[in-house]
Amino acid sequence: MYSDEHKLFLKRIKRQKKVVLFFKIFILVSFMALWEVCARTGILNAFLTSYPSQIITTIFDLFKENNLLTHIWVTLYETVISFSLASIIGIVISSILWSSKTISKILDPYLTVLNSLPKISLGPLIIIWMGAGVNSIIFMALLIAVFTTIINMYNAFISTDPYKITLMKSFNASKIQIFTKLVFRGNIPSLINTLKINISLSLIGVIMGELLVSKKGLGYLINYGSQVFNLNLVITSIFVLGIISYLLYILIDLLEKKLK
């Protein structure tokens, strides 16, 4: 049985969650309503900004034409592949850097330069190297996300409590045991935070790649809409992207709750 104080604490937590959820929905609904009213009354130029009801109509029209699901699937596929590759490669390289101070000191300036380099500037080269297709889009997204993963996870690994590492060494634990049992396991929260950033960066990289070379995907719709000056299509695609980004974030958040 819970004590009265604990029951009161649980009630406060539930109340806080309800308040947070209410204001999340309230802010979104208020923004959409204000946007709709301003566009319909002429305060905003509806041609340039579109408005929620028009966006919903466009989404249904794209569904009827059997185009939207195809574009969403292409973007999701490219995002998931690039996200998975960036996460795996980033974790492996950061683990190697943690295991060898010599390698980390050698590669540190290169990682810093490559991370700060605008990846979009490499777009023409990537298209020539990888071809004007899905491979170049995935590679672009991979370049954007992988260095952030490496740097974030490496910094998390080297921040592990040195006293705990010394304690494990005193019990003759091997380097692999120290890494798997202490360093990696102790930095699961950092890994989850990195994955949350990584999924957003992968989606950004995919859209950047689709703007350059794709004939399918939400990035293609944005590019096509801007070329024919159909700003409603551009804003609708961005709106769908926002929903996808939020849903992907929710998936990572669910993973975090399961690992707790």
The residues, any chain, with a CB within 8 Å of residue 211's CB and separated by 6 or more, are: 219, 220, 222, 223
Q: What predicted TM-score, i.e. pTM, was given to this entire model?
A: 0.84
The pLDDT score that the predictor gives to residue 108 is 86
The predicted model gives 114-139 an average pLDDT of 81
- 181 versus 121: the higher-pLDDT residue is 181
* Side chain identity, residue 82: S
**What whole-number distance in Å separates Cα of residue 119 and Cα of residue 122?**
5
Beta carbons of 252 and 189 less than 8 angstroms apart: no
C-alpha angle with apex 60: 55 to 61, nearest 5 degrees?
Answer: 95
173 has a pLDDT exceeding 80? yes
Tokens standing for residue 67: 């185009």
Write out pLDDT tens, residues 1-59: 566 676 677 778 888 888 888 898 999 999 999 999 999 888 888 888 888 899 998 88
89 has a pLDDT exceeding 90? yes
Buried b (16+ CB within 10 A) or exposed e, 37-46: eebeeeebeb
- Indicate the burial class of 226 (C-beta count within 10 angstroms; 0-12, 13-18, 19 or more): middle
The pLDDT score that the predictor gives to residue 6 is 65
Write out pLDDT tens, residues 176-231: 888 888 888 888 888 888 888 898 889 988 998 888 887 888 888 898 888 888 88
Write out pLDDT tens, residues 239-260: 999 888 888 888 888 887 777 6
Q: Class assignment of domain 58-259?
A: mainly alpha
Write out pLDDT tens, residues 147-163: 889 999 999 999 888 88
Scanning the structure block, which residue is given the tokens 């993973």?
A: 255
